[in-house]
Amino acid sequence: MSHANISVFVPHLGCPNRCSFCDQVIISGASSQPSEVDIEVAVNTAKASKNYDADNTELAFFGGSFTAIDREYMLSLLKAAHRHVKQKDICGIRISTRPDCIDREILEILMAYGVTAIELGAQSMCDEVLIANDRGHTADDVVKASALIKEFGFELGLQMMTGLYKSTYELDLKTAEKIIELHPETVRIYPSITLENTRLAEYYRLRVYTPPTLDETVELCVKLLDMFDLAGINVIRTGLHSIDTDRYVAGPWHPAFKELCDSKRYLDKILSLLTEKGEYRLHVSPKEISKVTGNKKSNLKSLNSLGYKCTVVADDSVKPSDITVERMNNSCF
């Protein structure tokens, strides 16, 4: 059974500053604050769903700065969630917060209320990029907070952003390298998207910020996914869940961004397996066919343009992420 989250979004009322990419409407608290009742409803609704698996479901407080919100309010949310941990309705609680809002006192509180995983918004491990984007913390804050979280025995998650103002392809790769050195259990990769009411939108209109294209971002994220895979780190999200398209200004937004990355990884893998030009059958796990074929058959078209005429065959004996290549003269390798 795979892992599931019951997500509760907590508005960013406690945030000490406003990052360049942060939407002012959200930070001003326009979205409503969840209450203890909302948590009851969320858990009970999830429990009523078919195939609910309490042993693999966590309640996740998302929003970016959980440990910086009003303390009484934070405790009320934790108490409500903790009741469900004790009743074994959920297997734990995840929170996400800023690296400069972690200390021993707060970690003791989180531990007492059954929090199991803490995700930090690192975003970049380059101080120049953090300053340019008004993050209000340093890369060293990420290092120190990560060490403390691991010392307490929490699962550590780190979130990084690509294509921020003043960042580059190389600096984003450096960020991934430094994140790997901190040994998080999980990582999320979010390409920067420029929305209305943000400083990034101002910079974009002033022409001092040009976001990377979708293709450039997919290429970078493929590299990042390979690096995290190699390091044995589970990437639990690549790309934003959704955006308010009315507020979209610029940036590499795609509703199926992760699928684009997966398809590109398959294309790279296929190219590494093909030696001579000709006709091939690609045997893949039935679940992976659309990724191997690519969006609008883009992978097959690219292969064809390079002289490889490929057909994709569903094959139950092939593991997901594997490919068996069959040359049409029946030489298999």
Residue type, 290: S
Binding residues for ligand SF4 (CB under 6 A):
12, 15, 17-19, 22, 27, 64-65, 98, 121
Q: Judged by CB, which is closer to ligand SF4: 58, or 141?
A: 141
Q: Judged by CB, which is closer to ligand SF4: 57, or 124?
A: 124
Q: Judged by CB, which is closer to ligand SF4: 121, or 239?
A: 121
Q: Judged by CB, which is closer to ligand SF4: 65, or 263?
A: 65
Q: Spell out the residues 6+ positions from residue 275 whose beta carbon is closer than 8 angstroms to its own.
A: none
In whole angstroms, the minimum distance from the beta carbon of 272 to ligand SF4 comes to: 38
DSSP 98-162: -GGG--HHHHHHHHHTTEEEEEEEEE-S-HHHHHHTT--S-HHHHHHHHHHHHHHTPEEEEEEEE
In whole angstroms, the minimum distance from the beta carbon of 142 to ligand SF4 comes to: 13
| DSSP H or E segment with residue 201 | helix 199-205
Q: Judged by CB, which is closer to ligand SF4: 18, or 82?
A: 18
Q: Judged by CB, which is closer to ligand SF4: 15, or 145?
A: 15
| DSSP H or E segment with residue 62 | strand 57-62
Provide the H-helix boundaries in 14-103.
Answer: 24-27, 36-47, 71-86
Closest by CA to 39, choosing from 4, 3, 90, 2, is 90
What are the tokens at 125? 């491990």
In whole angstroms, the minimum distance from the beta carbon of 77 to ligand SF4 comes to: 16
What are the tokens at 249? 């200004």
Q: How far apart are CA 2 and CA 222, in angstroms?
A: 23
Opening angle at CA 215, ends 274 and 212, nearest 5: 145
In whole angstroms, the minimum distance from the beta carbon of 231 to ligand SF4 comes to: 26
Residue type, 136: G
Q: Judged by CB, which is closer to ligand SF4: 23, or 288?
A: 23
In whole angstroms, the minimum distance from the beta carbon of 183 to ligand SF4 comes to: 23
In whole angstroms, the minimum distance from the beta carbon of 180 to ligand SF4 comes to: 23
In whole angstroms, the minimum distance from the beta carbon of 21 to ligand SF4 comes to: 7
